[in-house]
Amino acid sequence: MLAAMTSYPASPHPDFPQDPVDPSRQSIPPYPARPAYPAYAVRPPPVQPPPVQPSPGSPAAGSRRLSARWFVAAVAIIAVVAAGGGAAAGVQLADRPAALSTLTPTGTATTAVVSPSDIQTVADVAAEALPSVVTIEVTGAQESGTGSGVIIRDDGYILTNNHVVAAAEGGTMTVEFSDGRRVAATLVGADASSDLAVIRVAGVEGLQAATFADSNAVVVGELAVAIGSPLGLDGTVTTGVVSAVHRPVRTGTSRDSQAVIDAIQTDTAINPGNSGGPLLDADGDVIGINSAIATVSAGGGTSGLPSATQSGNIGVGFAIPSNTAKDVADQLIDNGSASHTQLGVEGSDYSDADVAGAQIQSVVSGGPAEQAGLRAGDVIVELDGRAIEGVDTLVVAVRDHAAGDEVPITYVRGGQERTATVTLVESARG
């Protein structure tokens, strides 16, 4: 989340018009066939530890700054709520370890329960990863704020969210490293469809690049550690677990209504300003780039209370998988832009008593779908073995393949289930 900028949910951004595009171009996981980054160290999938409770003394480094305004990437159900303006942060001290109460013959005894292994695991992760995490301060013509980023190459390349750097158009970006050094940064490239961007600092020595894990090996229940600058508090470490994987989440705003990610869901505390920072496993390797949080809206209803939105952490955060992040970052560094796999349809969510899926509204002439015999009105219910629950699921399922892949599709036409094979193509860069 970009502290001091805007709430980041799942509906179009009010400042930018919605651009009707092929929904299959809305967000695509990485090309499986792409070579791995030569500059990114990738460790083999770790043996996953059991879920760990957050340690009572997570480290935090650097200065403490509060931004005047926030940008919050926030997704509520399938809608994103945009918000901005000033805010104040309240802090409650938690200076006691977790406790266990037991009944004894003489009464109730309370014993502190702290797992040394849990504390050491999180402390080790923080010590290893903190030097690779940066704070990004953005000042634009209309707004300013703070986000996070992760060093991906020791020659100055830093990965963050597109919505973090978008506000810098016509303005400046400053990167602060964990050792306090502050350096101006320039934009290398951005991809709104995946909500990712790469920036670069020049002439900075001694940078420590993060190590990326294979996000396909992430399992539900494993330890997840987030590092970033929530509310401008740089070097903040929070812990939790991976709550779910392959969660289609629309994080786009009207600035880009296409941003759909096949997210890793976590209950790790993620707040405005965490956007662009890493989600790490127990080995300190990046498994995702934090991008969005769910929000809860409270309406008036019969109570007569005014409507409100809780924009802070509620234990439902979303991260872009590391494999997607690596693939897009590679393209941005090489080309300044990224392309994605597409099916060649425009569609919408569909459900009735018998079927649910993505209904085709139109097909691109000569595109993969048309060539496979699909047409408007067909309801796609499965792609390459993955159930399609709606258009967002279709988007991420398509983007989980490379251009040229031949994939089976199951669809319903006139109440009858049919199958076809489509050959996916690459979208134009931009």
User: What residues does 425 pair with on adjacent strands?
Assistant: 342
Q: Coil, helix or strand for 28?
A: coil
Same domain, 42 and 165: yes
**Rounded-to-integer distance, Cα 148 and Cα 145, Å:** 11
Residue 2 placed within a domain: no
The pLDDT score that the predictor gives to residue 427 is: 82
Identify the active-site residue in 178, 229, 275, 339: 275
Last residue of a domain, one of 317, 335, 353: 335
> Which among 43-47, 127-131, 293-297 has the top mean pLDDT?
127-131
* 401 catalytically annotated: no
What is the C-alpha separation between 419 and 412, in angstroms, rounded?
9
Q: Is residue 187 part of a domain?
A: yes
Place of tokens 């003394």: 57
The pLDDT tens digits of the residues spanning 74-132 come to 333 323 322 223 333 322 223 333 344 444 445 554 444 445 555 568 999 999 999 99
Q: Which residues of 170-190 are buried (b: 16+ CB within 10 A; e: fewer)?
A: eeebbbbbbeeeeeebebbbb
Q: How many residues does the chain have?
A: 430
Contacts 24+ apart (CB under 8 A), 202-209: 202/156, 203/156, 204/156, 204/177, 207/151, 207/153, 207/154, 207/155, 207/156, 207/177, 208/131, 208/132, 208/151, 208/154, 209/39, 209/40, 209/41, 209/132, 209/151, 209/152, 209/153, 209/154
Residue 26 pLDDT > 60: no
Alpha carbons within 13 angstroms on the beta-carbon side of residue 213 total 24
Q: What is the pLDDT of residues 231-275, one digit of tens each?
A: 989 999 999 999 999 999 987 554 444 688 999 999 999 999 999
Neighbours of 426 (CB within 10 A): 14
pLDDT digits (tens, 9 = 90+) for 167-216: 888 789 999 999 999 999 999 999 999 999 999 999 999 999 999 999 99
Active-site entry in 22, 191, 195, 400:
195
The mean per-residue pLDDT over the stretch 295-300 comes to: 61
Residue 281: what pLDDT?
Answer: 96
Q: SS3 for 247? A: strand
Using an 8 Å Cβ cutoff, are 263 and 410 in contact?
no
pLDDT above 70 for 217: yes
pLDDT of 280 reads 97
What is the CATH classification number for the domain harbouring 70?
A: 2.40.10.120
- Residue 369 is predicted with a pLDDT of 95
Q: Compare 428 and 10 and report the one with higher pLDDT.
A: 428
Q: Which domain holds residue 347?
A: 341-426
Per-residue pLDDT at 194: 93
Tell me, yes or no, whether 349 lies in a domain: yes
Residue reference for tokens 């934009």: 187
Known active-site residue 257? no
Q: Of these residues, 13, 22, 132, 163, which one is catalytic? A: 163
In angstroms, the CA 74 to CA 71 distance is: 9
Q: What percent of the chain is predicted at pLDDT more than 90?
A: 59
Token pair recorded at residue 204: 């900075």
- Do 49 and 149 share a domain, yes or no? yes
Q: What mean pLDDT is predicted for residues 44-62? A: 41
Residues in CB range of 425: below 8 A, 6 or more apart = 341, 342, 344, 367, 368, 403, 404
Q: What is the pTM of this model?
A: 0.71
Alpha-carbon distance of 181 to 64, in angstroms, equals 15
Mean pLDDT of the region 414-427 = 94
CA atoms of 272 and 291, how far apart (whole Å): 10
Whether the pLDDT of residue 401 is over 50: the answer is yes
| H helical segments located in 266-388 | 322-335, 368-371
* Residues 345 and 291 reside in one and the same domain: no
Among 301, 335, 369, where does a domain finish?
A: 335
Determine the pLDDT at residue 171. 87
Q: Is pLDDT above 90 for 6?
A: no
Are 281 and 189 in a shared domain?
A: yes
pLDDT at 311: 64
pLDDT value at position 393? 94
Q: Is residue 295 part of a domain?
A: yes
pLDDT, tens digit (0-9, with 9 covering 90-100), for 329-355: 999 999 999 999 999 999 999 999 999
